[in-house]
Amino acid sequence: MKLLISNDDGIFALGIRSLANRLAEAGHHVTVVCPDRERSATGHGLTLHQPIRADIVESVFHPNVKAWACSGTPSDCVKLALWALLDGPPDLVLSGINHGSNLGTDVLYSGTVSAAMEGVIEGIPSLAFSLASFASSEFQPAAAFAESLVAQLAKQPLPELLLLNVNVPAVAAEAIAGVKVTRQGVRRYIDVFEKRLDPRGKTYYWLAGELLEDVAEPSEVTDQAPTDVEAIRANYITVTPLQYNLTAATGLASLKHWTFDLPLAQKA
């Protein structure tokens, strides 16, 4: 398959090398276009007010991997690849393997998930992969699962255009309990801004969000699937189908009977 791979940890991150090299060794046509430095928590930001540059990178990946380092955000990287760098569209867009989990509402901030979502916006099925630990650097179980999932999708494509957000527990391969299809959970933080002074005596703030709680909020799919947060705690690989349409169906149903006041323009 033709695969486009990006990330938000940058061109030299071990996670993307593990993913790209594993898939190239499996015989896939792999192209990497990712940021030239870490761009974590950039969400779906795009670069609009300065040029975007892309340089070919050699001697970092498997010899069969063609790679570019891009000056933009993760979403920039995928958009640039699809519209300027590639000769044709890939079969799949992949992002990761991220160093750290992307669970629950964290996906709204994630550059990893946003890079994959850019593929979905352009009509290409996409996968985001994350290792659920900042301390561990054992990416091989996640890379092995990525290889098997790509092979499965080659034989059995997704029934609709989706992003599969995959989180892999940071345990030995034999300790992984299995794979579960999950729904997105909710993670709430205490956003603590630490006030500091720079060497010139000027105030600045450092964001150090602390996880307050993981919340399992009511959902129409509660009975169908556990949350990604619940499943990863039990050492399951989580596969959460995501979409870019954020319309709340229940909100449409409750609001359609409302009567809204339209204030009249004041007379002169």
Q: Give the domain CATH number at 238.
A: 3.40.1210.10
Q: Give me the residue label for tokens 């359609």.
A: 256
Within a domain: residue 109?
yes
Within a domain: residue 69?
yes
Within a domain: residue 8?
yes
Distance in angstroms (rounded) separating the CA atoms of residues 188 and 48:
31
Q: What is the mean pLDDT of residues 192-221?
A: 74
- Whether residue 178 is predicted with pLDDT greater than 80 in this model: the reply is yes
Within a domain: residue 11?
yes
Per residue in 146-170, pLDDT tens? Answer: 999 999 999 999 999 999 999 999 9
**Ramachandran category for residue 141: left, alpha or beta (phi over 0 → left; psi -120 to 50 → alpha):** alpha
Within a domain: residue 259?
no
What single string gives the DSSP state of each residue in 24-38? HHTT-EEEEEEESS-
Within a domain: residue 230?
yes
pTM of the full structure: 0.90
User: Taking all residues of the chain, what is their mean pLDDT, rounded to a whole number?
Assistant: 91
pLDDT over 90 for what percent of the chain?
75
Distance in angstroms (rounded) separating the CA atoms of residues 225 and 181:
7
Q: Give me the residue label for tokens 């593990």.
A: 18
- The residue ranges of DSSP E strands in 63-209, in sequence order, are 66-70, 92-99, 126-131, 163-168, 178-181, 186-190, 193-197, 203-207
Do 79 and 46 contact (CB within 8 A), yes or no? Answer: yes
Within a domain: residue 268?
no
Count of structural domains, the chain: 1
The CB density around residue 207, as the number of other CB atoms within 10 Å, is 10
What residue numbers bound the domain in which 152 lies? 2-185+223-245
- Whether residue 202 is predicted with pLDDT greater than 80 in this model: the reply is yes
Within a domain: residue 257?
no
Q: What is the mean pLDDT of residues 36-60?
A: 92
